[in-house]
Chain A
């Protein structure tokens, strides 16, 4: 009789143990366990990248080149030494460069920071143009480049400084404001 009671107690204890294990197994949900990168740790990186965007006609429209790209889980992308090149057959080529760039919306706006240069090649009777500043926001889809910090602008031999700028590459217009100063080299007679 004593052995029988011991056996029953042992079986009950084992059943309890199995039940508890099963309970914990269902709670933990092993299938939910995955690597969730922290906000500051990328989910993928790439070195020496070239990303080319094609227009509806199949021709390359824009190219983003960078030494290093880090992508984060919140869709933020950082690029080291970014170079954004916009080329369309009907317009002069324009190149934006900086020490660092990033986008938070899949490239709809690209922020450039640190020794920012924006250069547009000479075109028909318009001399080459260049902007130098420290911060610039590029809107690739509308081909606009905006900065709200001091900028140096060169158009041919004329040099202008101002407090902020908007360059609309689609329409070919430049707007500078805030203490605008232009230095024009005199035409030799």
Chain B
């Protein structure tokens, strides 16, 4: 939700180690991050602070997982974004999550899978609900991006306007802005 960004961040883990010289904080063991409806889980998270005081969290795990509810004009629809990857980078300043290696981003409505994108690199812009997927190469082989977009129902059936495009589009580079 847009309101998530104003909520405090809560982190839980088994261990914490900080370095005042490097200005880093490392959480290890059952790491959980909560911020409003945003949730991240993994084995380790490296948290650093940039000069403007914004944080960047690099979460790794088998696999690191992310989920967040999205604002949906139709109150009957509980829309969620889910992501998993070997490595995730959450950038507080840009409000983006970068999924690296075995990345998968999905969108569900009331628990039903609507859209899905997989690839080796996916950047999800939380603020604008946009994502960009890249295939990348694995073992020297070019990997393709796979995107599955669920068919849109007509206006009256789904209650969401036909013009309401998803955040996911099937192209190597999805860059168009989502209409609010």
Contacts and interface: CB of A to CB of B under 8 A. Distances in A.
B20 interface: yes
Interface in A142-189: 155, 160, 162, 171-187, 189
Given A180-B27, A187-B92, A126 B8 contact: no
A120 B93 CA distance: 28
Interface residues of A, number: 26
A129 interface: yes
Contacts of B8: 183-186
Interface stretch (B10-18, B74-82, B103-111, B128-136): B10-18
A177 B14 contact: yes
B23 A182 contact: no
Contacts of B19: 172-174
Nearest to A92: B20
A124 B25 CA distance: 17
Contacts of B51: 125
Contacts of B11: 180-182, 184
A123 interface: yes
Given A123-B20, A186-B5, A186-B6, A175 B12 contact: no
B16 A160 contact: yes
Nearest to B18: A174
B20 A126 contact: yes
A24 to B, nearest CB: 70
A172 B21 contact: yes
A29 to B, nearest CB: 61
What are the 7 tightest A-B residue pairs by CB atom distance, in nearest-first order? A174-B18, A184-B9, A182-B11, A176-B16, A172-B20, A126-B20, A177-B15
B145 to A, nearest CB: 31
B54 A187 contact: yes
A181 B12 contact: yes
A175 B53 contact: no
Interface of B: 5-21, 23, 25, 27, 35, 51-55, 92-93
A182 B20 contact: no
Contacts of A185: 8
A129 B20 contact: yes
Contacts of A186: 5-9, 35
Contacts of B27: 180, 182
Nearest to B127: A189
Contact of B18 (A155, A177, A189): A155
B14 A178 contact: yes
A180 B14 contact: yes
Given A172-B21, A180-B27, A181-B11, A189 B16 contact: no
B6 A175 contact: no
A182 B16 contact: yes
A118 to B, nearest CB: 13
Contacts of A171: 21
18 contacts: A126-B20, A126-B23, A155-B25, A162-B16, A171-B21, A172-B19, A173-B18, A173-B20, A174-B17, A178-B14, A179-B14, A181-B11, A182-B11, A182-B25, A186-B9, A186-B35, A187-B54, A187-B92
B27 to A, nearest CB: 7
A87 to B, nearest CB: 16
A175 B19 CA distance: 9
A78 B3 CA distance: 54
Contacts of A180: 11-16, 27
